[in-house]
Structure formats: C-alpha cells, structure tokens
Amino acid sequence: MAANDPIHQFQIIDLLPIAKIGTSEIVFTNSAAFMFAAVIVITAFLVIGTAKRALVPSRLQSAAEISYEFVATTVRSTAGSEGMKFFPFVFTIFMFILTLNFIGLIPYTFTVTSHIIITAALAITVFLTVLFYGLYRHGLHFFNLFIPKGVPLLIMPLIVFIEVLSFISRPISHSVRLFANMLAGHITLKVFAGFIILMGSAMGAVGWAGGILPFGMIVILTALETLVAFLQAYVFAILTCIYLNDAIHPGH
C-alpha cells in the first residue's frame, strides 16, 4: 500500500526529538538529515576535489572549478561585478538546491525541496536580502525601483501599484516554482512506478511483461526530472541574481 502511494515519499519522518519550544516540537527529521547530507556532499565535492590544487585539474577538480565558474559567470553577467559580493550566497543557494534536487532523484530518498516551507524560506531569505541591502545601499532611492522612467503621470499610480505588487509577489512565484516542479515530477514518477506494481499484481505474468511500458516512461521521466532538477536550481539562482541586481542597481 505504502509503495503505491505517490504522496508517501514526501512524508516528514521524525528521527530524534531535540527540544520543545512552546507548543512546537523540534525534531531531527529525515528532511534535516538530507539537508546535512547535502552540506557534506557539497563541501566534500569542493574540498576533496581541489585537494591536489593541480595546475591541470583532475575530473573532480574540473567539476568543482566548473561549478564555481558557472555560478560566478551567472552572477557577474546578471548582477554586474558589484554583485560578486553576493557570489558565496548565490553559490550556496544554487549548490544547496541542486544537490537536494539530485539526491531526491535517487530512489528511496527524500526530496527536501519538495516542501513549500523550505523553498519559501529560501525565497524569503533572498527577498529580505534584496530589500535590506537595497535600503542599506541606496536608502529611500531604492524605491525608485517602483517608478519606471518615461511613464505619464496620469497612469503612474497604477504602474507603481503593479510594480509594488510584482515585487511583493516575487517570493511566492520564486518558491512555488521550485516546490511545484519537484513535487509534480516526483509524484509523476511514483504514479508510473505504481502502474507497474498494479499491473503486475492484477494480471500476473502478462501484467509484469506489460509493465515495460510504464517502466519506459519512468526512464524517460527520470531523464526529464534530472534536467528539471538542474534547471530549477539554475532558475532559482538566476532569479536570485536578477533580484539582487535590483538591489544593487535600482534604476529601471
């Protein structure tokens, strides 16, 4: 039954109760375990990969350098060279989401990024960083962001209203995009996997043989989900860069 439930894979499982704050229980969960696994994997990837500091890099070192340069190029091209002060932040976000997405693709694992609370927290972190850095850097001029140049005065209030609304709704779209993509992809995979079990248990040998069809779909979908896992991490990172660019250069 559990194996057939496409929602079951998103279940938070308590592993170790830690403390009780008010009415909320703080528990070390499977989600927390996978987050720390991601931290360890990323750190190991970058540090062990560069252990030799080779002039001509090994494959692992080359991969570590590519990840560095990929994010650095993205930040520089989107937010300018001034945006490079946020490079560690963007790099952390990108690698964290990417690694969690990829770990989640392995069967029997848990996909941390399929929980809206996680993606929302990350998106709000970006949102608040943009807001506070923009205010710190430009003071009230930061709000010029909402006043596009060359708009007739008559429709200005409407435009400003729309700009403010789009600014405030950013964390929503930012977080839901990642959450929904991961959730939907994993549910789809599970549903097709469930077909194999259903056909096998309902029709016996013929069913198991027919299961090759949904299995083929799973193979194709896994390839697609691998792309989505990368793409969503990239989209999240590049949107972060675009929003940070607004904080650095608020002029429209």
Report phi then psi at 147, rounded to 5: -115, 90
Q: Which stretch binds another protein (CB under 8 A): 1-9, 145-153, 197-205, 209-217?
A: 1-9
In terms of CB distance, is 55 or 140 closer to another protein? 55
In terms of CB distance, is 26 or 209 closer to another protein? 26
- Nearest in space to 4 (alpha carbons), one of 182, 192, 180, 185: 192
Contact positions with another protein (CB under 8 A) in 123-182: 125, 179
82 binds another protein (CB under 8 A): no
Considering only 145, 178, 183, 229, the residue that binds another protein (CB under 8 A) is: 183
- Bridge partners, residue 21, by sequence: 24
CB of 214 to another protein, least distance (A): 21
CA-CA distance, 180 to 197, in Å (whole number)? 26
Considering only 73, 82, 88, 165, the residue that binds another protein (CB under 8 A) is: 88
In terms of CB distance, is 125 or 144 closer to another protein? 125
Burial class of 234 by CB neighbour count within 10 A (0 to 12, 13 to 18, 19+): middle
CA distances from 233 to 24, 91, 97 (A): 30, 11, 5
Write out the DSSP string of 177-228.
HHHHHHHHHHHHHHHHHHHHHHHHHHHHHHHHHHTHHHHHHHHHHHHHHHHH
Residues interacting with another protein, by CB under 8 A? 1-2, 5, 7-8, 10-15, 17, 21, 24-29, 31-32, 35-36, 38-39, 42-43, 46-47, 50, 53, 55, 57, 61, 64-65, 68-69, 87-89, 91-92, 95-96, 114-118, 121-122, 125, 179, 183
